[in-house]
């Protein structure tokens, strides 16, 4: 009997799919019980994981492990090199939450442009006169910079174009022809893209290359009054530099769905930063995407155990060869 370890909660549809498969034992472990992951993983043939870490030592000490299924697309919580060294494929739910994240990112862009949080706070405080002080902007005619032009970035671009925005794209791994075909403008240097945008939105993975990508110097390239939205990963942005730019008023606002520390502790300096919209890493979570991710993760487990994983969903594809 194959044992599937589930770390964290997933939609019932995914559990139901696993339960229909004969010969599977499902072991569930809450994400908060991280100290117990290594012991549980050591007896597992497969694992579905959300945001809890899968460190290298735990992967190396799991002799039966055949496949790791990420509930989502970011694999920065998984020691990919350890999995690859063991020949263990790491599969993601490649398209399940792309629309959810794109919608959320664009919703945050709209919320920043229309001063939604400030308007709400003013009305609740009985400050109706705020309508004369708070002046939103229109997105039509503004320039959106997209960093990362994968499944999510392309969906954000389509929404921006529908709002009559000019869209610049920086992604060194996407051919300029593909960007042009999407109705956008490719920009080779990130600094040039930032300098020309009214809003920048991040849709790249967290890797050694992108960690700290939006640092103090690159934030300084953004025009005064610009907005920044990050629904990718917290480590991509220098949070201290962003807080400084917001406090000084040089940037008009920012929205972070992801942060370096998650959850944010009560004493985190970000909580006191003005003009900053915070959300608890929920951009990819909707009623629809939760079901899709659970089902895709379950299918990836079954395919991995059967040795028939689709290479398109495996981030360390070399193990399949």
The question of whether 170 is a catalytic residue gets the answer no
Say how far apart CA 93 and CA 17 lie, in whole Å: 15
How many C-beta neighbours within 10 Å does residue 156 have?
A: 26
49, 46, 14: which is closest to 33 by C-alpha?
49
Choosing from 155, 203, 221, 233, which is the catalytic residue?
A: 233
- Each as own residue / partner, the long-range contacts of residues 8-13 (CB below 8 Å, 24 or more positions apart, any chain) are 8/48, 8/49, 8/50, 8/51, 8/52, 8/71, 9/50, 10/48, 10/50, 10/71, 10/290, 10/293, 10/294, 10/297, 11/290, 11/291, 11/293, 11/294, 11/295, 12/294, 13/291, 13/294, 13/295
The question of whether 189 is a catalytic residue gets the answer no
Choosing from 17, 155, 281, 292, which is the catalytic residue?
A: 281
User: Are 173 and 150 within 8 A, CB to CB?
Assistant: no
Say how far apart CA 249 and CA 230 lie, in whole Å: 19
User: Are 241 and 221 within 8 A, CB to CB?
Assistant: no
The question of whether 262 is a catalytic residue gets the answer yes
E-only strand ranges, 34-174: 46-49, 67-70, 90-92, 143-147, 166-170
Choosing from 12, 191, 209, 262, which is the catalytic residue?
A: 262
Catalytically active residues, by annotation: 233, 262, 281
């Amino acid at each position: 009997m194959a044992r599937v370890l589930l770390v964290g909660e997933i939609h019932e549809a995914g559990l139901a799919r696993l339960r229909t498969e004969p010969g599977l034992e499902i072991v569930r472990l809450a994400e908060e019980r991280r100290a117990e992951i290594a012991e549980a993983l050591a007896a597992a043939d497969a694992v579905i994981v959300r945001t809890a870490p899968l460190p290298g030592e735990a992967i190396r000490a799991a002799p039966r492990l055949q496949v790791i299924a990420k509930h989502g697309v970011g694999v920065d919580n998984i020691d990919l090199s350890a999995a690859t060294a063991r020949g263990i494929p790491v599969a993601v739910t490649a398209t399940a939450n792309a629309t959810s994240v794109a919608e959320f990112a664009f919703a945050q862009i709209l919320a920043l442009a229309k001063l939604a949080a400030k308007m709400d706070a003013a009305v609740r405080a009985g400050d109706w006169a705020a309508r004369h002080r708070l002046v939103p902007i229109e997105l039509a005619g503004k320039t959106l910079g997209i960093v990362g032009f994968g499944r999510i970035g392309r969906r954000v671009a389509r929404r921006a174009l529908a709002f009559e925005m000019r869209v610049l794209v920086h992604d060194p791994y996407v051919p300029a022809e593909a960007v042009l075909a999407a109705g956008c403008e490719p920009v080779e240097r990130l600094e040039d893209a930032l300098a020309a945008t009214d809003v920048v939105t991040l849709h790249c993975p967290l890797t050694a290359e992108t960690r700290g990508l939006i640092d103090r110097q690159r934030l300084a390239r953004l025009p005064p009054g610009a907005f920044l939205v990050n629904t990718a990963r917290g480590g991509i942005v220098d949070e201290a530099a962003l807080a400084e730019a917001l406090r000084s008023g040089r940037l008009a606002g920012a929205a972070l769905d992801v942060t370096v520390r998650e959850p944010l502790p009560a004493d985190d300096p970000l909580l006191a930063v003005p003009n900053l919209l915070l959300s608890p890493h929920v951009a990819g979570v909707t009623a629809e995407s939760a079901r899709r991710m659970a089902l895709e993760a379950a299918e990836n487990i079954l395919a991995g155990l059967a040795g028939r994983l689709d290479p398109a969903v495996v981030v360390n594809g070399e193990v399949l060869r």
